[in-house]
């Protein structure tokens, strides 16, 4: 029996060693192939990635819970220590905000009156809102994205703007059933059409993986100064206009840096806004087909049940002289 086992293991060992070596070479080759395929943005790979994210998000939510509790406790202790200073500061802030509130009310009334004068519908611009919690962020040196726990089942769609109480956080770039990926403003690939106030200069806010994205494609002689407010311009129709983005912090030859309004260290929840979704032509065609049926065949003539222009004219007593 012992002899049999020994001879078996003698036979099995080289086979196992060969198998291990084969797996090593095959998986290195597979990794390289995957890198090339991800560069080509192959559809099924993205679907596989999306499924993995959808499965992992509930687990990440559970793992976050004790960390959140400890963070909340630390914050609460810090707030207890500084309660007196905070109270004094908040009283002062409250006094100033009340002044601003009365001014804002006046302006809102004036704005409403002006909208009525020009016949503009104020409700049409109100975006749809989905609330979501950030469950994972890659941080990392290469990409600045975050995963949220709301997906297509909750009404999230690609292109939605993500905001919190301070301002714009980013936009949705990938949607799964129960999760979605946000591209943060600071990511290298983020491009947001913005407007600088008060000069109303249009520009593109481009992330560069640092905490301070820069302004690109400014007009030839931009009228900028440090502290100017930067808001989304709404150009391109994807993001709603007027979302707070940040303030101009540095003006240099090669970069106009913007300090984002969002406090990245305290970002937990976001609201996802759907504004006027601009659909690519192929998707628009599909949606139209679903709504109005298949397109009419070429050379289609209206049937006899639809009165022709001549018949309408005859019924109304002929054309006007």
Partner 1 sequence: MTLGWFRHLDAQFRCFLPAITAVLALLIDQIPIPGEGVGRTGPLALLCVVTFWSIYRPDLLPVPAVFAAGFVTDALAGLPLGLTSLTLILIRMVVVGQQRFFVARSFPVVWACFGVMATAAILFRWLLMSIWAGHVFRFTPSLFELLATFVAYPLVSLALGWIHNRVPRFIYAP
| Subset of 247-276 contacting partner 1 (CB under 8 A) | 263-267
Q: Which of residues 14, 43, 119, 140 is near partner 1 by CB under 8 A?
A: 140
| Subset of 141-180 contacting partner 1 (CB under 8 A) | 141-147, 174
| Subset of 50-79 contacting partner 1 (CB under 8 A) | 52-53, 56, 59-60, 63-64, 67-68, 70-71, 74
Burial class (CB in 10 A: 0-12, 13-18, 19+), 56: middle
Q: Which of residues 186, 190, 232, 233 is near partner 1 by CB under 8 A?
A: 186
Nearer residue to partner 1 within complex by CB, 30 or 283: 30
CB of 178 to partner 1, least distance (A): 14
The yes or no reply on residue 17 touching partner 1 (CB under 8 A) is: no
Nearer residue to partner 1 within complex by CB, 71 or 116: 71
The yes or no reply on residue 27 touching partner 1 (CB under 8 A) is: yes
Binding residues (CB under 8 A) for partner 1: these are: 20, 23-24, 27-28, 30-35, 37-39, 45, 48-49, 52-53, 56, 59-60, 63-64, 67-68, 70-71, 74, 134-147, 174, 181, 184, 186, 188, 209-211, 263-267
């Amino acid at each position: 029996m012992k002899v049999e086992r020994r001879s078996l293991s003698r036979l099995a060992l080289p086979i196992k060693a060969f198998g291990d070596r084969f797996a090593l070479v095959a998986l290195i080759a597979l990794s390289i192939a995957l890198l090339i395929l991800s560069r080509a943005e192959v559809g099924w790979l993205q679907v596989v990635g999306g499924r993995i994210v959808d499965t992992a998000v509930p687990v990440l939510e559970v793992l976050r819970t004790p960390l959140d509790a400890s963070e909340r406790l630390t914050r609460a202790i810090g707030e207890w220590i500084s309660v007196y200073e905070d109270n004094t500061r908040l009283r002062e802030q409250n006094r100033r905000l009340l002044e601003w509130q009365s001014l804002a009310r006046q302006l809102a009334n004036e704005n409403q009156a002006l909208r009525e004068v020009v016949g503009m519908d104020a409700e049409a611009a109100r975006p749809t809102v989905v609330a979501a919690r950030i469950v994972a962020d890659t941080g990392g040196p290469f990409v600045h994205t975050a995963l949220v726990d709301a997906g297509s089942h909750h009404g999230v769609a690609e292109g939605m703007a993500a905001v919190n109480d301070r301002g714009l956080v980013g936009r949705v770039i990938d949607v799964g059933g129960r999760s979605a990926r946000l591209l943060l403003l600071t990511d290298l690939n983020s491009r947001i059409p913005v407007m600088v106030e008060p000069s109303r200069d249009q520009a593109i806010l481009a992330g560069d993986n640092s905490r301070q994205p820069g302004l690109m494609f400014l007009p030839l002689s931009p009228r900028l100064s440090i502290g100017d407010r930067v808001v989304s311009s709404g150009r391109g129709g994807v993001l709603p206009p007027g979302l707070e983005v940040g303030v101009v912090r540095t003006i240099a030859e090669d970069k106009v840096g913007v300090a984002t309004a969002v406090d990245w260290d305290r970002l937990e929840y976001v609201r996802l806004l759907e504004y006027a979704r601009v659909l690519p032509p192929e998707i628009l065609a599909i949606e139209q087909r679903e709504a109005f049926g298949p397109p009419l065949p070429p050379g289609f003539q209206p049937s006899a049940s639809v009165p022709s222009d001549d018949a309408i004219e005859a019924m109304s007593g002929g054309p006007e002289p």
